[in-house]
Amino acid sequence: MALLLPPDRPAPPVAPLLLRALRGEEVPRPPVWFMRQAGRSLPEYRELRRGRRMLDLCGTPELAAEVTLQPVRRHGVDAAILFSDIVVPLEAVGVDVEIRPGVGPVIGTPVRTRADLARLREPEPDTDLAALAAAVRLSCDGLGDTPLIGFAGAPFTLASYLVEGGPSKAQARTRALMLAEPALWAELLERLAGIAAAAIETQVRAGAQAVQVFDSWVGSLSAEQYDRHVLPAMRVLMQRLSALGVPVIVFGLGTGHLLERLAATGADVVGVDWRTPLPEAAARLGPGIALQGNLDPAACLAPWDVCERHARAVLDSAPARGYVFNLGHGVQPQTDPGILTQLAAYVREQHA
């Protein structure tokens, strides 16, 4: 029987579109946001960034919150993602990392031996992660009803930077350590799961309403390698995150062969890149897992009519429930922000 509210009681607030879609509820249209929507292509970001180190920008809560809000103001997307980086929690525990312009994170002393593991303690929320929490609180204050997505790097992807000492295409040294020293590797990933969990717990306690775990480079592993060397640490991480009660998205580039594994971590939502058709992902994962993706970011470098045609195809192939429109990887730095504004408006015009 339907319960009638007394007339003087306000109707219960409706959860933001993003959260309803992530939970697999029926929604009037898919929500839209873009991976790497903050920073990157925005002139107002480049202005703020000039003369500042990337990690100093991340560590200054007022400025990090400002960059977090910029794409929401400009594009009218349905979610913000915190302006930070996957290496921020590593820097918080004293890892000597810097983000080099045009390169990415570079680690002064790479992690390759058992003795190196001692440098990877779990951060203390109230001290090590105070600036992260403040950036989230200030972002949420400025966002009003728009939800904030918190994030962390997954253990494998963090390990790849720590072991290689910087960005790497094939993660050969990382995979060699994984195969040659599986016990050391397991301990490394367990520590990184603790660091990622602490970073996400801090962001959710400070107001983030959904979270994404970026396992950007895990697609370089075979399914068997994933099961043996990555899944145990991912399960530990996801178990800690499930206690937070917010939807958890997991994403990795080139993970078409790992989709079932990503779902088996315990995540609620799997991010799909442009190589895997959404109907295939939906059929393989079933109705209990929501999907996010998967427009090729290169389509946003093309004229609008081309981008629109590809966005239309993505929307037409998406499941009716449990779907969030996004790119299949991050916004390319050379993207015209005007195309992203048009794309967000195009998705907002959709009606079931």
Catalytic residue flag (residue 226): no
Residue closer to ligand 1CP by CB (options 170, 283) is: 170
Q: How far is the CB of 174 from ligand 1CP (least distance, A)?
A: 12
**How buried is 71 (Cβ within 10 angstroms: 0-12 exposed, 13-18 middle, 19+ buried)?**
buried
Q: Is 161 considered catalytic here?
A: yes
Question: Which of 20, 45, 78, 85 is flagged as catalytic?
Answer: 85
- What pairs with residue 32 in β-bridges? 325
69-98 residues near ligand 1CP, rule: CB under 6 A: 81, 83-86
Q: What character string, x for contact with ligand 1CP (CB under 6 A) and - otherwise, covers 176-215?
A: --------------------------------------x-
Residue closest to 348 by CA, chosen among 36, 77, 22: 77
Whichever of 321 and 329 has its CB closer to ligand 1CP, that residue is: 329
The yes or no reply on residue 112 touching ligand 1CP (CB under 6 A) is no
73 Cβ contact list (under 8 Å, min separation 6): none
Cα end-to-end distance, the chain, whole Å: 27
DSSP string of 70-138, one letter each residue: HHHHHH--S-EE-S--TTHHHHHTT--EEEETTTEEEESS---STGGGGG-PPPPTTTTTHHHHHHHHH
Site for ligand 1CP in 30-69 (CB under 6 A): 36-40, 49, 54
Nearest residue (CB) to ligand 1CP, 139 versus 321? 139
Q: Does 104 bind ligand 1CP (CB under 6 A)?
A: yes
- Closest CB to ligand 1CP among residues 151, 323: 151
The Cα 155–Cα 188 span in angstroms is 8
Backbone angles phi, psi at 29, to 5 degrees: -160, 160
Active-site entry in 45, 161, 226, 323: 161
Least separation in angstroms between CB 316 and ligand 1CP: 26
Interface map 135-174 toward ligand 1CP (x if CB under 6 A): ----------------x---------------x-------
Total residues contacting ligand 1CP by CB under 6 A comes to 21
Residues 6 or more apart from 93 whose CB is under 8 A from it? 119, 120, 121, 122, 123, 128, 195
| Burial class of 282 by CB neighbour count within 10 A (0 to 12, 13 to 18, 19+) | buried
Q: Which are the catalytic amino acids?
A: 36, 40, 49, 85, 161
Residues lying near ligand 1CP in the complex (CB under 6 A) are found at: 36-40, 49, 54, 81, 83-86, 99, 101, 104-105, 151, 167, 214, 216, 330
